[in-house]
Amino acid sequence: MQEQAKVLLQALPYIRQFHEKSIVVKIGGKIMGDEGMLSSLLRDIVLLDLFGMKIVVVHGGGPEISEEMKKSGVKPKFIEGLRVTDEKTMEIIHEQLAGKINKQIVLRINHHGGKAFGISGVDGNVIRAHKFLYKTVTSKGKEVEIDLGLVGEVEKIDPSIINNFIKAGCIPVIAPIGVDNDGNSLNINADTVAAELAIALHAKKLILVTDVPGVLRDPSDEKSVISSMTPEEAHTLIQSGVIKKGMIPKIDACLKAIQGGVERAHILGTIQHVLLLEILTDKGVGTMITRGK
């Protein structure tokens, strides 16, 4: 019993520090398939909400979208990790991301004692977007533009509706779909949406929960997590090839958030109660990006 009391007392200064502060948590799509991890994560979110923290959830859903596309006879197509999105794919994204996956998260948060409300970025024009113009360089060094279809990037986020949900005691759960000036819905990278949302809400923290324990100095060694870095150190690690492939967009999202005024950004892995360990303990877990000097 004394040990339990010590744990609670250790958490006290962090509960005080983050009380009434906004924290944006992005849940990676792969986590949706791990029942134990998802349940642990959502219970953490409910507890942090009860401690008075303003938790906002953004979620992905890539694996389930790809699986549903295959069932519908549509072959998923990616260019350098970006999903090519035609009208049929966009229909599936609405069904799976804004429908099934979003409501699964809402139902489970409510089951654990929270009060969640699910929306996509098209609801109330929360996420205004424009078509993403993807440029790459060919093997001959020529810059070319590739049409990814209905893929967008954030133009502006209106946080007023989300703030209203928070004031009403709700945990907003947001699917990363935006709307353009012509009324078209656009598929947007969830990490980017989470970063832009953290900026718009003046959040204290941005937390990306993914399927790796953090930024690894050695990709083959999960114990080689880099516990903290500044934006300058992050750029150096990208240039040296330590940070590569799928981790680069996550680091870019974290850097965007930091540059936009968010105090700290985190990349966390799939260990039980990872949010409690990061937010409420002295040591924390995963990789933390700070503003530096």
Per-residue pLDDT of the chain (293 residues; tens, 9 = 90+): 677 788 788 889 999 999 999 999 999 888 888 888 999 999 999 999 999 999 999 999 988 999 999 998 889 988 877 889 999 999 999 999 999 999 999 999 999 999 999 999 999 999 999 999 888 877 787 888 889 999 999 999 999 999 999 999 999 999 999 999 999 999 999 999 999 999 999 999 999 999 889 999 988 888 889 999 999 999 999 999 899 888 888 999 999 999 999 999 999 998 899 999 999 988 889 999 998 76
Alpha-carbon span 282 to 271, nearest angstrom: 17
What pLDDT shows up at residue 190?
95
Angle ∠(238,233,25) on CA atoms, nearest 5: 80
Instruction: State the greatest distance between any 2 C-alpha atoms of the chain, in Å, as a whole number.
Output: 67
Q: Work out the mean pLDDT of the chain and round it to a whole number.
A: 92
Indicate the SS3 state at residue 207: strand
> Is the Cβ–Cβ distance between 37 and 105 less than 8 Å?
no
Return the CATH architecture of domain 22-288: 3-Layer(aba) Sandwich (3.40)
Alpha-carbon span 65 to 97, nearest angstrom: 7
* Confidence (pTM): 0.94
Q: Which pLDDT tens digit goes with each residue over 58-117? A: 999 988 999 999 998 889 988 877 889 999 999 999 999 999 999 999 999 999 999 999
What pLDDT shows up at residue 1?
67
User: 47-65: buried (b, 16+ CB within 10 Å) or exposed (e) per residue?
Assistant: bbbebebbbbbbbbbbebb
Alpha-carbon span 222 to 139, nearest angstrom: 33
CA 291 and chain centroid, separation = 19
Which residue(s) pair with 119 in the sheet? 174
Q: Which of 285, 268, 127 is nearest to 206 (CA)?
A: 268
Q: CB-based contacts of 189: which residues, under 8 Å, 6+ apart?
A: 82, 153, 176, 249, 253
Q: Which of 173, 159, 160, 163 is nearest to 58 (CA)?
A: 173
Q: What are phi and psi of 112, to 5 degrees?
A: -85, 5
Which tokens sit at 71? 């069932």
Which residue(s) pair with 287 in the sheet? 267
What pLDDT shows up at residue 293?
62
Alpha-carbon span 196 to 114, nearest angstrom: 25
> Is the Cβ–Cβ distance between 159 and 199 less than 8 Å?
no
What pLDDT shows up at residue 21?
97
Q: Which amino acid is at 284?
A: G
Q: CB-based contacts of 216: which residues, under 8 Å, 6+ apart?
A: 222, 224, 225, 226
